[in-house]
Amino acid sequence: MRAGRVLIGAVLFLSAGLWVLFNYCQGNAGLNFSSDITGNKVSLDLTTAGMPMLIGIPLAGIGVLLLLIAFIGAIVAQFREPRVEVREDVSPRRDMPFEG
């Protein structure tokens, strides 16, 4: 199996899961600035309930799992030797003489 196909599947599942979770969420976001570094604050509150939660979390989980598999597959592919294809030296048909 090629790592590229698994990566495409991972992106599709992960984006579909996150889209469902964020599209049906109810929440708010806040950003507070202060003169002190310790007073700066980012607050994000997301709540997704019901059927979108039951669909979004498994889709995102499958996407993360496939992303991990593609990452491990890409690492393993870096240390593998390339496949050598042995081909017979066959002349193409157009080089063969016409027999009538």
For the chain, the residue count is 100
pTM comes to: 0.68
- Single out the residue of 52, 49, 48 nearest to residue 25, CA to CA: 48
| Per-residue pLDDT tens over the stretch 53-64 | 999 999 999 999
Q: Which residues make beta-bridge pairs with 92?
A: none
| Per-residue pLDDT tens over the stretch 15-66 | 999 999 989 988 888 888 988 888 899 998 888 899 999 999 999 999 999 9
